Structure 1
Amino acid sequence: MQIITDETKKEIKAHGSHTFPLLVSYEKITAYDSGSFLWHWHPEIEMTLITSGEMLYRINHQEYHVKKGDALFCNANALHAGTMYHEQDCTYISVTFDSRLLSGFEGSLIHRKYVKPLVNDLSLSSFCFNGSAPWHSAITAAIQHIALYDEEKADAYELAILMELYTILETLHLHMHPARKLSTSDMLNYDRIRTILLYVENNYNRELTLHDIAGQIHVCKNECCRIFKSYMHQSLFEFILEFRIEKSIGFLMNGSYSVSEISQLSGFNDSNYFSRAFKKQKGCSPLQYRKKMKTQG
C-alpha cells in the first residue's frame, strides 16, 4: 500500500464528506510498502496520536522521532512522510479535517482571528506534543476523544467532535508559537522544493541530471543541492535513490516483472546497481523482499 497522490503530490483520498469534512483513521506503518509512506500533502490539518511503537515522521524540514503517547500537528498543505524506526511497527490515529469546519464561514471572527492565522503561517508547519509541557496533554486527550466519538457515533457526536476541535484550536492559539518567522527566502525555497519533488515524481523513471533539476528552479547546481539538503536533511540524490527504491516496490509486488525490468521502470540503468541499492536500503534483495511480502500477505 502507498498513499495515492496526484501529479502535485496532493493526496487524493477524501478526508470525510463535504457536509462534515473530518476523517478518523487507524493506521500502522507496516501496512505501507516497505514500512514507509512517501512525501505527500493535503489542504486539511492533520493531528496524529501514536498508540504503540515508534516511528520517524517528517514534516517539511523537521524530523520527529515519535513514540507511544506522542502527538503531532501537521498544518494544512505541509509536506509530510513517515518511516519505521529500527524495523519496529507503529500504530497511530490520524484525525484529518478541513479548517473550514471551525471557521463557520469565511470572514467570520473565528476565521479571521484564529483559523486563518494558523493555516497561513508557514513557520507553523508542524509541532510535536511529547509531554515536555503540561498543556500537551490537552491535545492528546482531544484526539482520543474525537476517535472515541467517531467510533461510537452517539447522538450529536458531530457536536462533541467540534467541541474537541475547538479545544485543540484554543490550545494551539494559546501555546504554540513559531521559534522564528519564515523569511521571504524560506518561503521561496519551500516552493522550490515542491517543484523539485514534483519533477522527480514525474521523471523518476528516466535519467535525472542535476543540471535539469536545477533548471526547474532556476538556480545553479550547487545552490540546488544546498537548498534541498538544508531543508530536507538529506542530499538530493539520496532522496532520488530512496524514491526510486520505494517506487520499485509496486512493480516488484506486481509479480510479472523481472528484476531487470523493474530496475528500468524505476529509473535505474543498471540492474546490478539497483539490486545493491535495494539491499542496502531494505536489508534484502528485491526477490527476497517479494518472497517475504507474499509470505506475510
Structure 2
Amino acid sequence: MFNKLQPRLGIQAKRKPLPYRYFQTVINDGRPDILFHWHPELELTYVQEGTARYHIDNDFFNGETGDIILVRPNGMHSIHPINGETHVIETFQFHLDMIGSSVGDQVTNRYLQPLQDSTYKFLPCIKPDMPGYDALKDCLFLIFSLSKEEDRHFELLLKAKLHEFLYLLYYHRYVIRKYTDDIHRKNEKIRELVAYINNNYHQSLTIDFLADFIGYSKTHFMAIFKQHTGSSCTEFIIQVRLNKACELLVNSSKSIVEIANEIGFNNLSNFNRQFKQYYDMTPSHYRKQYTKTKESRSLISSNTSNN
C-alpha cells in the first residue's frame, strides 16, 4: 500500500509490454481512500470528473475537473474523497529509465536524472488557465490514447510524446528545485515512519514510541508529522487501520470482532465508532454493501467469459 500503488476497488489497470502502467481510478461514496504511498515511477494524471483532496510531498490542494496532476518519482502522495463526491481520473505511470539513455547522455544527465534523484520536482497541479495547459493536455491525451490502443509501432511515438511532455514542463517552468538538505532529511524520516506504521499498524503504537523511533521530541514530532502528512499521527494510524479493515470486511469471512483485534483495535465499540465516523456506515453495513458489489462484478465477469 505504501511502497507501490496497486490496483484496488474502483481502479481499472492494464499492464503493457513496456515498463509503464495506464489506469483509471473511480472514487465513489468515499472509496477508495488512497493513503500516503510512493513509487519509483513518475505519475501523470488528468482529472476527468469531480473534486478530491490531494497531498503531494508538502503541497495540499483540491484536484478538480480538467486539472493535470504530477507526481515526481518517489514523491509521497495521497488522494482523499470529499464528502462522498465522485472523482474520476486517468493516470499514466512510467519509470524514467524507459526514456533515458543507457550511456548517460546530456539529456539524461541534465533533465531526467535530477527528477529521478529528487533534485527537482514538479509543480503538482496545472490548472486549465495556466500557461502551456492546452499543449500539455493535448500531449497527455495522446499518451493515454497510445497506451490504450497499442497500434503498430506505437512504442516509438509514445516515447517521443513522453519526451515532448517533459519538454513542455521544463519550458513552462513547471519543474523546480526540490529540497534543502534539512527538509530532505525530515522527509526521509517521515517516509521511514510511514513505512513502519504500515507494517506494524496492528501493534500498540504510541506517540512517545514513534517520536523516539525517528529521534524527535514528542512536540517536534507531532508538528513535523502533521506538516508532512496533513493529519495528526493518531489520525493517520486510524486511517491505515480502517483501510485494512475495509479489505478484510470484503475479502475475508472473519468476524467483525476478529477484524477489529487483528488491525489493532482492542475495543470493539471504539472500532465501530471510528469506522462509522469515517465511512458514514457501520462495518456490518459496509461488508453487506461492498461484498454484494464484488459478487455482482464476479457474476458479470463469469457470464462474459461463458459467452
TM-score of the pair, normalised by structure 2? 0.86
Residues in 1 aligned to 2:107 and 2:120: alpha-carbon distance in whole angstroms: 21
Match of 2:289 among 277, 292, 296: 292
Q: Report the counterpart of residue 98 of structure 2 in structure 1.
A: 101
Residues in 2 aligned to 1:23 and 1:255: alpha-carbon distance in whole angstroms: 28
Matched, 1:245 2:239: no
Matched, 1:25 2:23: yes
Q: Report the counterpart of residue 229 of structure 1 in structure 2.
A: 226
Residues in 2 aligned to 1:287 and 1:281: alpha-carbon distance in whole angstroms: 14
Amino acid at match of 1:110: V
Q: Report the counterpart of residue 215 of structure 1 in structure 2.
A: 212
Amino acid at match of 1:10: K
How far apart are residue 101 of structure 1 and its match?
2.0
How far apart are residue 200 of structure 1 and its match?
0.7
1:232-255 per-residue CA deviation (whole Å, 9 max, x = no partner) reads 121111111111111111122235
Does the 8 Å contact 2:73/2:115 carry over to 1?
A: no
1:111-160 per-residue CA deviation (whole Å, 9 max, x = no partner) reads 01211123333562551111131312222211110111222222221122
Q: 1:53–1:201: structure 2 CA closer, same or farther, 3 Å change rule? A: same
Q: Percent of counterpart pairs with the same letter?
A: 26
Q: 1:114–1:99: structure 2 CA closer, same or farther, 3 Å change rule? A: same
Amino acid at match of 1:20: L
Match of 2:33 among 32, 36, 47: 36
> What SS does structure 1 have at the residue aligned with 2:31?
helix
Unaligned runs of 5+ residues in structure 2 are: 8-12, 295-307
Does the 8 Å contact 1:34/1:246 carry over to 2?
A: no
Match of 1:55 among 49, 52, 57: 52
Does the 8 Å contact 2:208/2:218 carry over to 1?
A: yes
Amino acid at match of 2:48: T
Residues in 2 aligned to 1:118 and 1:180: alpha-carbon distance in whole angstroms: 9
Does the 8 Å contact 1:48/1:93 carry over to 2?
A: yes
Amino acid at match of 2:263: S
Q: 1:28–1:118: structure 2 CA closer, same or farther, 3 Å change rule? A: same
Match of 2:4 among 5, 10, 14: 10
Residues in 2 aligned to 1:178 and 1:107: alpha-carbon distance in whole angstroms: 20
Q: Report the counterpart of residue 179 of structure 2 in structure 1.
A: 182
Task: Write the mapping of 1:258-269 to structure 2, written as runs, cut at 5 A.
Answer: 258-269=255-266
Does the 8 Å contact 1:70/1:140 carry over to 2?
A: no
Root mean square deviation, CA, Å: 2.3
Does the 8 Å contact 1:46/1:96 carry over to 2?
A: yes
Residues in 2 aligned to 1:53 and 1:38: alpha-carbon distance in whole angstroms: 19
Residues in 2 aligned to 1:67 and 1:159: alpha-carbon distance in whole angstroms: 32
1:80-107 per-residue CA deviation (whole Å, 9 max, x = no partner) reads 2212222122221111111112222252
Amino acid at match of 1:156: H
Q: 1:248–1:125: structure 2 CA closer, same or farther, 3 Å change rule? A: farther
Residues in 2 aligned to 1:163 and 1:255: alpha-carbon distance in whole angstroms: 45
**Farther-moved stretch of structure 1 (124-133 vs 105-114):** 124-133
Q: Report the counterpart of residue 144 of structure 2 in structure 1.
A: 147
Amino acid at match of 2:19: P
Residues in 2 aligned to 1:12 and 1:283: alpha-carbon distance in whole angstroms: 25
Amino acid at match of 2:127: N
Does the 8 Å contact 2:39/2:74 carry over to 1?
A: yes
> What SS does structure 1 have at the residue aligned with 2:99?
helix
Match of 1:131 among 128, 132, 137: 128
Q: 1:63–1:115: structure 2 CA closer, same or farther, 3 Å change rule? A: same
How far apart are residue 56 of structure 1 and its match?
1.9
Q: How many residues align?
A: 289
> What SS does structure 2 have at the residue aligned with 1:143?
helix
